[in-house]
Amino acid sequence: MTVLESHLSAVLVVLALWLAIGFCGLLRQGSLRLVARVLFPTSALCGVALAAVAAASIAAPAETGLLVVGLPDLPMHVRLDALSSAFLFLLGASSAGISIFAAGYFRKGQGTAPGLLCLQYHLFLAAMGFLLVADDAYGFMVAWETMALSSYFLVTAQHGLPEIRRAGFLYVMIAHVGALAVLLSFGVMQGGSWQFTFDAMRSAELTPGWATAAFGLALVGFGAKAGLLPLHVWLPEAHPAAPSPVSALMSGVMLKIAVYGVLRVTFDLLGDPLWWWGLIPVGLGLATALFGVVFAAAQTDMKRLLAYSSIENIGILFTGLGLAIVFYGADMRPLAALALTAVLYHALNHAFMKSLLFLGTGAVLHATGERNLGRLGGLIHRMPWVAWLTLVGVLAIAGLPPLNGFVSEWLLLQSFLFAQEVPHTFVNMLLPLGAPVVALAAALAGYVMVKFYGVIFLGQPREPSLAKAHDASRLEKLGLVWLAAGCVLLGLLPVQVVRALGNVTSQLTGHAVPTAQGWSSLLAPLPDREVSYAPLVLLLVIVAVVAITFLTVRLAYRRAVRRVPPWDCGFVRLDARMQDTAEGFGQPIRHIFQSFFHMERQLPSPFDAAPRYRVTVSDRIWRAFYAPLGGIVQRVADSVAWLQQGRISTYLLYSFITLVLLLAVGL
C-alpha cells in the first residue's frame, strides 16, 4: 500500500514532516533566516496538506494502524475516524494561518533562540496531531504530555521575566493535575482487562458507578486543559505570557484538543453516557461562559482580555457538549446530533476567530510594544490591514450574522429551544433556562469586542509614540487574511460545514443533522420544525440594500465633504486622554456584576496635587480556593522538610526503618 492511498499514513507523514521541520531548526539555532524564510512557511504548507487530507477522510470509513516505535513490545495503535478528522482539519487549517504569520513574527531578541523555538513549536503541533490519531492510552498520554511540555517551553520563551516563569509554573502544574485525572480515567475505563488500547476500553463492560467515575475524571482532566471553572486560573496567565502565535495556537487549537478528549471518552470509549452526566458540563459550562465574559469586560491587557474570552467560549462549548450528552442519554438522538454539531462547529469557528484576534494583537504588540489597552488607540490609521482584518474576527466572535460565530450560536440556541422533551420533568423545565444565559454571554461578548476593537484601533492615539506604528509584514498579513477568510467562509457556507460534521455526529450518535443536497445555502437543521437560516442570502440582501442606498445618495445628492476637527459638543480643547480608557469602558460591567469581582480601589482625594486612580480587579476563585490551597501545600511541605536533616547518619536511619517496616508488612 502506498502512502498516499491511505489517509492515515498521509496524516502520519505530515506529522513526521512537522517533527523533521522542528529538528531542522536545531541545525542552526541562531539563524532567524532559516527559520522564518524556510521552516515556518513549509510548516504552513504542511498544515494546508493536513487540512486537505482531513477534509477527505472525514467522510471515509475509519482506518486503523500499528506504529512500531518507542518501547519494545509496546506498539502504538493509531486510528483515523470522522471525529479525529474533524479536529485534524481544525488543527491543520488554523495552524496554517498561524505558522505563516509566525514566519513573519518571530524576531531576534531576548528569550529562546529561534531554532529552539521552531523545535518547540513543531513538537507542539505534531503532539496535538498525534494525540488526535492515538488509539491507545499509551500513545494518547505520551502525546498529551509532549503537548503540555512543549507548550510550557513556548509559554516561557521570555523566561528572563519572573512573571512569565510564574505563569509557566502555574500552567504546567494545572496541566499535570489534569494529566493525572486523565490517566486515572483511562485506568478506570480498561475495566479489569488491563488492556490499554481504546478498542479494549470500547468493549469493556463498566458498571454505571465506574463509568460515572471515569467520566468525572475525564471531565476534570480535560476541563483543566480547557480552562473550565474552577480550573481556569492558568489560562489568563499563560496566554498573555506566550508569544502571540503560540497564544493563538494554545487558545485556538489546544483548548479544542481538550474538547476532543471529552468527546472521545464520553461518546466513543464509554459509549453509553447516562443522561444526567450532561447536566454537570451544562452547569459548569454556563457558569464558565458568564464568568469568562464578565471578566473579559474588566480587563485592561489586550491578551488577557482575549484569554478570558476564550474561557467564555470554552464554557459555550461545554454547555453544548453537556446538552448533547443529556439528549443522547435520553434517547433523543437527532437533537443530540444537533447539539454536537453546534459544539464541533463552534470549536472550528473559535479556532479561526480567536487565532485571528491573537495574531492581530501580536501585530499590534510588534508595532507599538504595548499590551496595555490604556496606551493604544487610533491604530486603524497606522495599521489599516491589521485593523480591518481584525474587525472580521471581532464581528465574528461577537456572534453577528452573517459571519461564523453566529451560525454555531444559532445552532446551540436551536438545540436549547427544543430541549423540552427530556423525560425528567424538573430537568425538562430547568434546561431551557440555559438559553437566556447563553444569550446573555453572547450579548456581553459583543460588549467586550466593541471595547477591544474600539480602544485599540479606533479613536485617537493615546500615546505620541503610536504615530510611529507600522503595519504588519507581508507574511503576517497573509496569515491574517487566511484566518479571516476562514471566518467568512465558515459563516457563509454552513450547509457544507454541517454536512461534513454530519459524518462525525453519525459516528458518535448515529444521526446527522439533515442538510439540503448540492450547493444550497439554506440551513434547516430540524425537519419537523420550520427553522432555517441562509447567510448567503442575508448577506446578499444587506449588500444590495447598502449598494442601492449608496448609489442613490451619491447620485441624488452631490454635496461636498469637508474635513474638520471633531465637534464634541463644541468643546475645543479635546485631547486623546478624554476618550474612554479600557477601565472606563468596562466600568458599567464592573458596576452591574460587582459580586463577581474582588475589587480594590484607590481613589484620589480632591486635594491631591498628582491624583491617581487605581482599580485592581481579581478573581474571587483564586482568593477563595487557590490561595488557601497553596498555603496548605506550603505548610505540609514545610513540615515534611523537617525530614531533611542534612546528616548522612539520619538518612541511613530512614533506610533502616523503611526496611524494617517493609519486612514487617511482608511477613
Partner 1 sequence: MNATTWATQILEVLAALAAAPLFLGWVNMCRAWLQNRRAPSLLLPYHGLRKLFNKDAVIAETASPLFRAAPYVVFGSMVAAAAIIPSMGTRLPFTSAADAIALVGLFAVARVFLSLAAMDTGTAFGTMGARREMMVGFLAEPALLMVIFVASLISATTALPLIAERLATQAIGLYPSLAFTAVAFTMVLLAENARIPVDNPATHLELTMIHEALLLEYSARHLALMEWASALKLFNYACIGFALFVPWGVATGEAGPPALLMSMPVLAGKLAVAGAWLAVIETISAKLRVFRAPEFLATAFLLAVLGLLVHLLLGA
Could you say which residues in the range 68-127 bind partner 1, by CB under 8 A? none
Q: Which range touches partner 1 (CB under 8 A), out of 82-90, 224-232, 491-499, 586-594?
A: 586-594
Among 166, 529, 614, 635, binds partner 1 (CB under 8 A): 529
CA-CA-CA-CA torsion sign (396, 399, 401, 407): positive
Residues 399-428 that bind partner 1 (CB under 8 A): 399-401, 406, 410, 413-414, 417, 420, 428
Residues 239-258 that bind partner 1 (CB under 8 A): none
Q: Which range touches partner 1 (CB under 8 A), out of 81-89, 228-236, 316-324, 373-381?
A: 373-381
For Cα atoms 364, 369, 375, give the angle at the middle one, nearest 5 degrees: 80
Among 465, 532, 616, 650, binds partner 1 (CB under 8 A): 532
User: Least distance to partner 1 from the beta carbon of 280, Å?
Assistant: 22
By C-beta, is 259 or 445 nearer to partner 1?
A: 445
User: Least distance to partner 1 from the beta carbon of 334, Å?
Assistant: 15
C-alpha R_g of the chain = 26
Binding letters toward partner 1, positions 534-563, x by CB under 8 A:
x--xx--xxx-xx--xx--x--xx-xxxxx
Distance between CA atoms of residues 394 and 409, nearest Å: 15
Distance between CA atoms of residues 236 and 247, nearest Å: 11
All three cell numbers of 379, joined, read 491604530
Secondary structure (3-state) at 598: strand
Distance between CA atoms of residues 215 and 382, nearest Å: 51
Among 69, 71, 555, 569, binds partner 1 (CB under 8 A): 569
CA-CA-CA-CA torsion sign (299, 305, 311, 317): positive
Using CB under 8 A as the binding rule, whether residue 566 contacts partner 1 is answered as yes
Using CB under 8 A as the binding rule, whether residue 494 contacts partner 1 is answered as no
Distance between CA atoms of residues 209 and 212, nearest Å: 5
Using CB under 8 A as the binding rule, whether residue 658 contacts partner 1 is answered as no
Among 272, 580, 600, 608, binds partner 1 (CB under 8 A): 580
Using CB under 8 A as the binding rule, whether residue 328 contacts partner 1 is answered as no
Query: Which residue, 259, 262, 277, 245, is CA-closest to 97?
Result: 245
Q: Which range touches partner 1 (CB under 8 A), out of 86-94, 316-324, 397-405, 472-480?
A: 397-405
Tell me the C-alpha to C-alpha distance, in Å, between residue 575 and each of 42, 137, 300, 626: 47, 61, 21, 43
Residues 507-526 that bind partner 1 (CB under 8 A): 522, 524
All three cell numbers of 624, joined, read 477563595
Among 281, 378, 479, 494, binds partner 1 (CB under 8 A): 378
Asked whether 584 and 462 are in contact (CB, 8 A), the reply is no
Using CB under 8 A as the binding rule, whether residue 578 contacts partner 1 is answered as yes
Distance between CA atoms of residues 73 and 616, nearest Å: 56
Q: Which range touches partner 1 (CB under 8 A), out of 35-43, 48-56, 114-122, 390-398?
A: 390-398
Residues 156-195 that bind partner 1 (CB under 8 A): none
> Cell numbers 470500547 correspond to what residue?
202
User: Least distance to partner 1 from the beta carbon of 289, Å?
Assistant: 12
Q: Which range touches partner 1 (CB under 8 A), out of 361-369, 473-481, 582-590, 618-626?
A: 582-590
Residues 588-607 that bind partner 1 (CB under 8 A): 588-589, 591-592
Distance between CA atoms of residues 496 and 516, nearest Å: 9
Residues 421-460 that bind partner 1 (CB under 8 A): 428-429, 432-433, 435-436, 439-440, 442-444, 446-447, 449-451, 453-455, 458-460
Using CB under 8 A as the binding rule, whether residue 365 contacts partner 1 is answered as no
User: Least distance to partner 1 from the beta carbon of 560, Å?
Assistant: 5
Asked whether 206 and 214 are in contact (CB, 8 A), the reply is yes
DSSP string, 334-402: HHHHHHHHHHHHHHHHHHHHHHHHHHHHHHHHHHHS--BGGG---HHHH-HHHHHHHHHHHHHHTT-TT
User: Least distance to partner 1 from the beta carbon of 384, Å?
Assistant: 8
Distance between CA atoms of residues 213 and 220, nearest Å: 11
Contacts of 343 (CB under 8 A, 6+ apart): 259, 263, 317, 320, 321, 324, 412
